[in-house]
Chains A and B, each alone.
Chain A
Amino acid sequence: MDYHSPASFAEASALAANATGITRFLAGGTDVLVQLRSDLVTPDTLIDIKKINGVSDITRNADGSWSLGVAVTGAEMSEHPELGRDWPGVVEAMDLIGSTQVQGRATLTGNLCNGSPAADSVPAMVAAGVTVTVTGQDGTREVAVEDIPTGPGKTSLAKGEVVSAINIPARGNNGGDAYLRFIPRTEMDIAVVGVGVSLRLNGDTVTEARVSLGAVAPTVLLVEDCAQAVIGTTLDDAALDALGAAASAACNPIDDKRGTIAFRTEVAGVLAKRAAKIAYARAKGEDV
């Protein structure tokens, strides 16, 4: 295994483009090292992106949007005084992953590029409308988070492409987001179902909505029917029921020891309703 620590994303991209065999990028390493040590994936080329300038920066831009470096850890996100006020759902979703030790290393970028359908931060990022900047041999492109995963362990990134920044939109006024997951214990587990919701209100009425489901399909889903179920409503009981039904209808889960198809489908509806209520309260300025 060749280890590289390039000084720029252009160099990282060139290294990956010219590499033969299996290539992995190393951010926090909490998935890459596990796969390496258990002989699941033994990269021929390992490209550590943490020596690139700015990869640990959390920046609030002039328009209120956020730029996060690709090596920003969960712990750094949770400790940031402002980020969690704008996007509590995104920060809480990341914070649910693993232990204190894992939080010291794990990154949004790694959680996304690992391609797990159960990745906690990904539904929250999809709901928030997060995009990533992808650097390749022909320059950079901006890609919506929901367009990165293509199946378990698979992404749409081409050979030589590397995620070089996380772009979180401006929260703006009267908006709120939330992420909830079901696990059979209180900590240190993988989502059986995860739901991310982001709403914007005009008075009491929902004007914008994005709802995302995790662990109930081969990829994290952005569910337009869920958004339509609540837009134009005051999130009354009828809207919540329609939201829950739309979430359950969108599920295409696996049946495994952590949750049956019937269970995951039911719970997706329940969590969608609960997450929407939290996002709604946050959009109203309530501290929940």
Chain B
Amino acid sequence: MSKLHVSTTVNGDPVEYLCDPRETLLDCLRDKLNLTGAKEGCGTGDCGACSVTVDGRLVCSCLMLGVEAEGKEIETVEGIADGDVLHPLQKKMIEYAALQCGICTPGILVAAKSLLEKNPNPTEEETRYWLAGNLCRCTGYDKIIRAVMDTAAEMREAS
């Protein structure tokens, strides 16, 4: 089976890869581009551990084929920090200890960043609904929600 050539942009960098048409964007990010932040939790779009944005839109990278990334702008968790400077969301997640095993954390960060870009002042209910597709089996969610709400407040003050 012939592989397809894909040119896309990931975290601002132009990248190319060859992929089998059955491979998902998640497979391509992890196995071809060595961006292993996005995780495969379920592989069926239920858990959100593979969350990335595509042209600014939050999606599960397990529910998108690698070939569909042609010409798109992909953002992953690896692009959230500015070099060694953590994003406010990352700092708050650490401060609140809003993670234990860490598998869901990259997806939560990408999804929460997407929320705050769309809505800098979300209610707790809006935050919980937005993150309903990001499953966490360790924390019970409360610390995650508090970290996101506190980040939102801090970023509003800073801006």
A interface size (C-beta, 8 A): 27
Roughly how many angstroms separate A188 CA and B128 CA in the complex, as a whole number? 12
Roughly how many angstroms separate A29 CA and B21 CA in the complex, as a whole number? 13
CB neighbors of B among A97-114 (8 A): 98-102, 104-105
Contact B22 A101 (CB under 8 A): no
Name the 7 nearest CB pairs between A and B, nearest first.
A99-B133, A3-B21, A104-B57, A104-B59, A187-B132, A101-B60, A34-B44
Knowing A3-B21, A100-B58, A101-B58 touch, does A29 contact B65 (C-beta < 8 A)?
A: yes
CB neighbors of A among B23-70 (8 A): 24, 43-46, 48, 51, 54, 57-60, 62-65, 67-68
Any B CB within 8 A of the CB of A164: no
Tell me the minimal C-beta distance from B110 to chain A in angstroms: 9
9 residue pairs of the A-B complex, CB under 8 angstroms, read A3-B4, A3-B67, A26-B68, A98-B45, A100-B58, A100-B115, A102-B133, A105-B64, A187-B132
| Residues of chain A having any CB pair with chain B under 8 Å | 1-3, 5, 26, 28-30, 33-34, 36-38, 46, 48, 50, 73, 75, 98-102, 104-105, 187-188
Contact A98 B133 (CB under 8 A): yes
Contact B45 A101 (CB under 8 A): yes
User: Chain B contact residues: over half helix, strand or loop, or mixed?
Assistant: mixed
Roughly how many angstroms separate A188 CA and B132 CA in the complex, as a whole number? 7
Contact A1 B60 (CB under 8 A): no
Tell me the minimal C-beta distance from A6 to chain B in angstroms: 14
Instruction: Specify which chain B residues have a CB less than 8 angstroms from the CB of A98 in the assembled complex.
Output: 45, 133
Contact A34 B57 (CB under 8 A): no
Instruction: Specify which chain A residues have a CB less than 8 angstroms from the CB of B68 in the assembled complex.
Output: 26, 29, 48, 50
